[in-house]
Structure 1
Amino acid sequence: MVNPGHLARTVLGDVPGDELGVCDAHDHLFLRSPVLPGMELDDAEDAAARLRAFRELGGGTVVQWTPYGMGRRVRHLAALSRTAGVHVIAATGLHQAVHYAPAVLDRLPEDLADLFTTELVEGMAGSGTRAGLIKVAGDFHGLDAHARRTLTAAARAHHRTGAPVAVHLELGTGALEVLDLLCGEGEVPPARVVLGHLGRCPDPVVQREAARAGAFLAFDGPSRAHHATDWRLPEELAALADAGFAGRLLLGGDTTTPGTPGMTYLLGGLRPRLERTLGSDLVDRMLTANPAAAFAFVPRRAGDARRPARRPE
């Protein structure tokens, strides 16, 4: 259920969540990383074409998870959004350390929470275009020192702003460790956390525990044959919905390199397939009402539940 008083922060300003329409909950218009040399998403005309195609398929909002220092092209986002007629939600935050040149990491301020807060409240890279979420990342089956630093900073910035926190799970792992830090130590309400890539390590026990905690689960990156994605996605989503977690599910395209089907495949390929197996009502919920709730700015209230840290086995 979307609270009509909750707003999402787009690159053109704050809008009511129920105005986001059909939402690609995790994608990239622009992206640059040293681990993907020569495969940059850095073409503004291509980004505009993808947004127009997404709009023609009924798309209303794209959530760009590209964080600080990875080629966000923040000065282009507002014009692209306005021209295409598609809402764009941009990200502050930091990815894993491997995605940055050492010189970039060396220049980071000591207090990352201040950086994230400034980009959420005042604008990214001095552009005046404000970020609408905090994107951070876990490590493979756990949390390294960089992940702990960035997740802790994300929690602090969330408490200052009410921004949602979106987390890259490396190959879909480490979801519960992420929740322990963010929602246990960091006291971020689980409903303000979006966990990405859960379909890449399709462990139903972990998926249910993360959903039971109250986090949103993003199933993103469809059409990638080297990940457990499309072919088992209907059964994963059906199992979670049958268990009572239909309101925690999100879908995204996650275009990371040129040629990735991404946002157009999400609506033109995956959506009709899921509608045939899951029904249009559930798929519509995953594309509209759920992301409207997940990406809202919701200031924390006294007494919000925190997730207790899990006890060691």
Structure 2
Amino acid sequence: ADLPALSRETGVRIVCATGLHQAVHYDPETLDGLSGGRLAGLFVTELTEGIGTTGVRAGLIKVAGGFHGLDAHARRTMTAAAEAHHATGAPIAVHLELGTGALDVLDLLCGELGVPGERVILGHLNRFPDPVAHREAAAAGCWLAFDGPSRAHHATDWRMPEAVSALAEAGFADRLLLGGDTVTAGARSVDGGPGMPYLLRRVRRRLAVVVGDELVERMLGEHPGRAFGTDWK
């Protein structure tokens, strides 16, 4: 309920998500209560009417894959997300566990379930810096999102600029996003990382050394508008 006022005060567009994370984050009774077609119905309601009693509508659907694959829970939530997308036009953002499983996600969402690639946002790709997998995912037309640094993923954080550069050189510069995650979302992150200010103050400059200021500005401005913008049905 506080998000609209926060957006007005800061001048920052805020997009809130509906969706469901991995099963480990919920008690079994909660998941049982969302069986059948209720999960897709919940997503659609939060996209079209509002979240809870706030009247604030979600603007995207967020779901999660597993480590190098999709379990039954992930397939169920992604199936519900696809149904909600087809009903509303909302984009689907995907948490990739340690950056893995991108192609499995696309086989399901874009292959079996008919979600257009440009309506899918794959997150945390720098956590598994495989250039072949990155190019295959980009070729599907989806958005590729790279994170700012965190303690949890320090071992691969330094690979992010070269991964972005490789995709740009392969012709996928128009599919790239740059952002944070819960571990870097505030001035002080939950794991002691440098937070969102560091993303804008240091990571932006570091990335520009490799790919240039023009592409970085597009990744922070134009691309999010295209990735998250929706012509609501």
Q: Could you tell me the TM-score, scaled by structure 1's length?
A: 0.69
Residue 217 (structure 2) pairs with residue 284 (structure 1): yes
Residue 198 (structure 2) pairs with residue 272 (structure 1): no
Report the counterpart of residue 95 of structure 1 in structure 2. Answer: 21
From 175, 178, 183, give the equivalent of 2:102. 175
- Go from structure 1 to structure 2 and tell me whether the alpha carbon gap of 1:260 and 1:102 turns closer, same or farther (over 3 Å shift): farther
Query: Residue by residue, what CA displacement relative to the aligned partner does 1:252-272 show, whole Å, maximum 9, x if unpaired?
Result: 111335344332111012001
Contact 1:202 1:228 in 2 (8 A): no
Q: Secondary structure at the match of 1:142?
A: coil
Residue 106 (structure 2) pairs with residue 198 (structure 1): no
Contact 1:201 1:228 in 2 (8 A): no
Query: Residue by residue, what CA displacement relative to the aligned partner does 1:200-258 show, whole Å, maximum 9, x if unpaired?
Result: 01111100000011010000142436344431111111110000000011001113353
Contact 1:198 1:218 in 2 (8 A): yes
Q: Could you tell me the TM-score, scaled by structure 2's length?
A: 0.91
Contact 1:255 1:261 in 2 (8 A): no
From 73, 78, 81, give the equivalent of 1:146. 73
CA distance in 1, matches of 2:220, 2:10: 19
From 17, 20, 31, give the equivalent of 1:105. 31
Contact 2:89 2:230 in 1 (8 A): yes
Contact 1:221 1:229 in 2 (8 A): no
Report the counterpart of residue 6 of structure 2 in structure 1. Answer: 80
CA distance in 2, matches of 1:289, 1:84: 19
Kindly tell me the number of residue pairs found equivalent between the two proteins.
226
Q: Secondary structure at the match of 2:93?
A: strand
From 226, 238, 259, give the equivalent of 2:153. 226
- Go from structure 1 to structure 2 and tell me whether the alpha carbon gap of 1:204 and 1:119 turns closer, same or farther (over 3 Å shift): same
Contact 2:99 2:123 in 1 (8 A): yes
Report the counterpart of residue 250 of structure 1 in structure 2. Answer: 177
**Amino acid across the alignment from 1:220:** D
Higher relative contact order (CA 8 A, sep 6+): 1
The farther-off stretch of 249-258 and 285-294 is 249-258
Please, which runs of 5 or more residues in structure 2 have no aligned partner?
184-188
Contact 2:20 2:63 in 1 (8 A): yes
Report the counterpart of residue 61 of structure 2 in structure 1. Answer: 134
Please, which runs of 5 or more residues in structure 1 have no aligned partner?
1-74, 301-313
Query: Residue by residue, what CA displacement relative to the aligned partner does 1:11-64 show, whole Å, maximum 9, x if unpaired?
Result: xxxxxxxxxxxxxxxxxxxxxxxxxxxxxxxxxxxxxxxxxxxxxxxxxxxxxx
Query: Residue by residue, what CA displacement relative to the aligned partner does 1:165-209 show, whole Å, maximum 9, x if unpaired?
Result: 000000111000000100011100001000001110111110000
How high is the sequence identity, in percent, across the aligned residues?
A: 67
Cα deviation for residue 107 of structure 1 reads 2.9
- Go from structure 1 to structure 2 and tell me whether the alpha carbon gap of 1:103 and 1:221 turns closer, same or farther (over 3 Å shift): farther
Contact 2:128 2:156 in 1 (8 A): no
Cα deviation for residue 299 of structure 1 reads 6.1
